[in-house]
Structure 1
Amino acid sequence: MRWLVDWRSSVSLLGTVIKYLALSMTIPLFIAMFYQEDVWVFLLSILVTVGLGFTLERLEPEPDLGPREALVVVSLAWLGAAIIGTIPYLLAGYGTASTLAHPVNAFFESTSGFTTTGATVMGEISLDRHSHALLMWRQLTQWLGGMGIIVLMIAILPELSVNGAQLMSSEAPGPELQKLTPKIAETARALWLVYFGFTVLYILLLYGLHVAGLAPNMDLYNAVAHGFTTLPTGGFSPQADSIAAFSAAVQWVVIPFMVVAGVNFALFWRVLQGEARAIVRDSEFRTYAGAIAVLIAVLSVVLFRGAAPVLEIGGATEGVTENTLRQAAFQIGSLMNSTGYATSDFAHWDTNAQMILLFTMFIGGSAGSTGGGIKVIRWLIILKTVRRELFVAANPDTVRPVRLANRTVDEDAIKGIFAFTLMYLMLFAVAAVLLALDSARIGYDLTALEAISASLATLGNIGPGFGSLGPFGSYLEFSNVSKLLMVFLMWVGRLEIVPVLALFVTGLER
């Protein structure tokens, strides 16, 4: 039996990624110094991370990266980032009653952060116990994971840009990678530039509402914290009530940015390059925007017919029509793009409304966006392929290719999309059954809908589920076995299954 993968090269490049990940910890370190909280936590975390990174990097001074090694690097980089992310949680929780003092809980929270899932084991009491710096680290993990850790490293590290195309194709969300510039490192920088620009604009708008007196509690800290988790469609918030803790004006500002986060960022780059109509000509964007509009309209009607469930947490009853439309638009925008924010506890909505939300969770954002799920482009090609097969069944002598935006879709690409979707649905179904069985084993009363939503919310990197797992609930009551299963789901879901599962079939040869 021999190895088919150069593990030393892969682990060496993982060390490079980990080493530079320590730089991101300087942001919460500065916040810790400002508030005089947990300074030692982040100083020690930085030292441990840098030391581990240098150690792994020395395994292979001149790493050689092939297609298999790219799969290993990408998969291990996300797993390694999640492990590194637990260090501040464990240090801050050491000797306390914090839920994050337990390694499995800390690993769950960190993985949920970097994969931009937004599922949490922290409740209102747990959030209040932690420092501004630690909560900002929690937010920052989602921003780093949004556009992609590997994409960021390719943008800033010359040694990774040499094999950047292989790495980015393994990490990029969606069935294909769009190369925007002649050099892959420039493409990575272009994507991060658009991502950074939207984040800054969003933070300025949120803080502007505070300055204008329209959002008294949206101070600079909260504006930055939510800026770090909206564009990556993450959903973490330092507030236990999520976006429901803020005014209606804030909620209306959040909605379009959640929608933007689900759009292919390559389209925005083309607009900046002078192709003003690139977005409206894109068939995936038109389908995405149309699906959102239809779902908002349907959910608004369902909610308006039973207006009581859509009232805000504070009991506000102003403008039932405006409130209903806002709640519908917010929840559809949040769940379709896997953001996970909430302005209302939809776990208490009626069955019709919950079924609409469950359907929305299956769609996902666009390829090349920060949204999770199966992705609109895949559903679009699946529907076109089904239509083609029905036509050919009635007209056996006809050859009819699947076309998208006046381009013929390659048959191998269609097979890949069907294979991915089948793996996604099978993994989702098996995981839901395992979560239900394990919950029954420990005596945790988990309903079928909650088990289904837990599996879908973690595999699709969505975050909240239904029932006790709703937007203001938590995953704390699951057993450690179930939490580790959901960590696996979040990991493979962020990398869209194939890079991780491929490791188990290409790693060695007999």
Structure 2
Amino acid sequence: MNTVVDWRKSVALTGTVVKFLSVAMLVPLVVALVYGEDVGVFGVSIVGTVLLGLAVEQLDPGTELREREALLFVALTWFVVAVVGAVPYVLAGWGTASTLADPVNALFESMSGFSTTGATVMGEIGTDRHSHAIMMWRQVTQWLGGMGIIVLMVAILPELAVNGAQLISEEAPGPTLEKLTPRISETARILWQAYFAFTVLLAVLLYGLHLAGYAPNMDLYNSVAHAFSTLPTGGFSTKPASIAAFSAAVQWVIIPFMVVAGTNFALFWYLFDGEVRTVFEDTEFRAYAGATAVFTAVLFGLLFSGAAPALANGGTTEGAFANALRQAAFQVGSLMNSTGYATSDFAQWEAHSQLVLLLVMFVGGSAGSTGGGIKVVRWLIVLKTLRRELFHASHPDAVRPVRLGDVVVDEEAIRGVVGFTLLYLLVFGFAAVFIALDATRVGIPLTPMEAVGASLAAIGNIGPAFGRLGPFGSYLMLPDTTKVVMILLMWAGRLEIITVLVVFTRSFWQR
């Protein structure tokens, strides 16, 4: 049967991805065997995942993966993977008082993990309330979602390499994909290798702090768990107090890795290849580094001048200057890159500091990074376009292209960036209003800052918001309707909105 979109091809390939997801479940299964917890949960989940993937693969009609099928495949894969990833939560919580026994809560937690959002409805966080295996599964979902499931599949599956460039561009954060090698599958492998290397390095450093006596509670389990959620800018922690539960030394070590995670990973290819100049001449990288430094300096000034008792971190011997600098650098690095970790309950900070953090949330990381948000390169293009329009107002006959460094930005690319930014802000605004009204409907009045923060935290894949939805809070109290909307926001935000929204348009399915 001739159809505009051969959905069977997209669904069949989704089944292939689901089948391989069972390999990732081996990590929590090993943890379950070590600790003697939830072995059956992950045994059943692995078998079920393999069988489901094999069954869905049979739909493959043997046709070519065209442009529309590729779009559908990417959007569908990310949603289905989150649904499958929710199964261990439901099974582990079955017959208990766990909040994750509720399918809506389980899907929220799973989508938050795979989209690297870091928002939680878990309620009581920690291995004293949930098994080590379940807590590790949360971390693994974030690590898979960080560099991208499709990027990984392109790297290992030859059948996807043919359309690999388009598939990665639909999934990768940012408006551009830099092809580092002639073969896109090799580029995908390079990106994942760099991602893996940084993850291992952070885990080794964190565990090294533990062995040296600088981080008593950062044992091997926690070192691996937090490496799994730092590089993908995920933000899930095994502790209810997030990174505030660990020493100042741990926090200082994590800061540069959050900055690395928000950097275009393609730049590390040039760095490792000895092309250091290419990295520092990159326009987006310089803007990203500059914005990080400026926001950190501003927030540091506000925190230090405020003599903030809220910055107290139990057990640290740092003075007020070092403490304020660490808190400022950490929170800017965390929220600008959409990591969502916290070293202090910034929901209790004074209003000016919270407004700085709100502004930081809008910026985002670099294109080609694991960070969320609008992305630095888009803001650069938008600002340069606005400056050009102001120039044209007084020089209507002048021809002035928009440039990023020495590169002239194509007018079609400019329209795409401006369109995406407006769509992002529009969806964010409508979602914030819905979240506020829906919460009021069930008797949970949210402050404007809480509603705005929740919407931005979901679509920007940031995680924590403000007030009761802050870094040490939870989204558990929100009604299921709001949670469903936030699930959709996290899904759309991870795939940069258009990839998801386009499959719901009539024109996508028609000639």
TM-score of the superposed pair, with normalisation by structure 1? 0.98
Correspondence for 1:345: 345
- Size of the alignment, in residue pairs? 510
Which residue in 2 is equivalent to 1:508?
509
Q: Which residue of 1 aligns with 2:145?
A: 145
Report the residue type matching 1:65 in the other structure: L
Q: 1:146 to 1:386 in 2, by over 3 A?
A: same
Partner of 1:74: 74
Task: Check if 1:287 corresponds to 2:318.
Answer: no
1:149-164 equivalences in 2 (<5 Å): 149-164=149-164
Whether contact under 8 Å (1:127, 1:240) holds in the other structure is: no
CA distance, structure 2, for counterparts of residue 403 and residue 192 of structure 1:
30
For 1:47-126, list aligned pairs within 5 A. 47-60=47-60, 62-124=62-124
CA contact (8 A) 1:15 1:52 kept: yes
Q: Is the 8 A contact 2:310 2:348 kept in 1?
A: no
Q: How does 1:344-493 map to 2 (within 5 A)?
A: 344-493=344-493
| CA distances 1:136-164 after superposition (whole Å, capped 9, x unpaired) | 00100000000000000111111111221
Moved more, 325-334 or 315-324: 315-324
Preserved contact between residue 99 and residue 126 of structure 1 (Cα < 8 Å): no
CA distance in 1, matches of 2:312, 2:6: 55
Structure 2 counterpart of 1:212: 212
Letter paired with 1:467 = G
Q: Does the residue aligned with 1:277 lie in a helix, a strand or coil?
A: helix
Tell me the residue number matched to 1:304: 304
d(CA) in 1 for partners of 2:483, 2:126: 18
Structure 1 residue runs of 4 or more that deviate by more than 4 Å after TM superposition: none
* Structure 2: gaps (5+ residues): none
Between the aligned partners of 2:345 and 2:251, the Cα distance in structure 1 is 15
Change (3 A) 1:127 1:120: farther
Shift of 1:509: 2.0
Match for residue 249 of structure 2? 249
Query: 8 Å contact 1:75–1:499 — kept in the other structure?
Result: yes
Residue 4 of structure 1 and its aligned partner are, at CA, apart by 2.0
Amino acid at match of 2:343: T
Q: Deviations over 1:388-436 (max 9, x none)?
A: 1111111111110001111110000000000000000000000000011
Equivalent position of 2:4 in the other structure? 4
Three-state SS of the structure 2 residue aligned to 1:341 is: coil
- State the identity %: 66
Q: 1:509 to 1:344 in 2, by over 3 A?
A: same
Output the CA distance in 2 between the equivalents of 1:83 and 1:300.
41
Deviation at 1:385, TM superposition (A): 0.7
How many Å separate the matches in 2 of 1:435 and 1:352?
24
Which residue is equivalent to 1:31?
31
Q: Does 1:14 align with 2:14?
A: yes
Contact persistence 1:13–1:63 (CA under 8 A):
no
CA–CA distance in 2 between the matches of 1:283 and 1:202? Answer: 27
1:126, 1:206 → 2: CA distance?
19
Q: Which position in structure 2 is the counterpart of 1:178? A: 178
Can you list the C-alpha shifts for 1:102-130, whole angstroms capped at 9, x where unaligned? 00000000000000000001233676321
Judge conservation of contact 1:114–1:145 (CA < 8 Å) in 2.
yes
Map 1:126-141 onto structure 2 (within 5 A).
128-141=128-141
Q: Secondary structure at the match of 2:205?
A: helix
- In 2, distance between residues paired with 1:125 and 1:263? 30
CA distance in 1: counterparts of 2:5 and 2:337, whole angstroms: 35
Q: Distance in 1 between matches of 2:231 and 2:472?
A: 21
Does the 8 Å CA contact 1:12/1:63 hold for their aligned counterparts?
no
The alignment partner of 1:128 has SS state of coil
Aligned-pair CA distance for 1:311: 2.2
Deviation of 1:273 after TM superposition, in Å, equals: 2.0
The secondary structure found in structure 2 opposite 1:238 is: coil
Question: How big is the alpha-carbon RMSD for the aligned residues of Structure 1 and Structure 2?
Answer: 1.4
Shift in Å at residue 445 of structure 1? 2.1
CA distance in 2, matches of 1:436, 1:328: 29
Amino acid at match of 2:510: E
Are the aligned partners of 2:126 and 2:240 in contact in 1 as well (CA < 8 Å)?
A: no
Deviation of the 1:317 alpha carbon? 6.5
| SS class of match (1:339) | coil
Deviation of 1:312 (Å): 3.0
How high is the TM-score relative to the length of structure 2? Answer: 0.98
The answer on whether the counterparts of 2:126 and 2:135 sit within 8 Å (CA) in structure 1 is no
Q: Give the match's secondary structure for 1:124.
A: coil
Per-residue CA deviation, residues 443-466 of structure 1 (Å, 9 max, x unaligned), is: 012111100000000000000000
Q: Distance in 2 between matches of 1:153 and 1:319?
A: 48
Partners of 1:56 and 1:405 lie apart in 2 by 47
**Cα distance in 2 for residues equivalent to 1:424 and 1:454:** 15
Shift in Å at residue 314 of structure 1? 2.6
Instruction: Give 3-state SS (helix, strand or coil) of 1:355's partner.
Output: helix
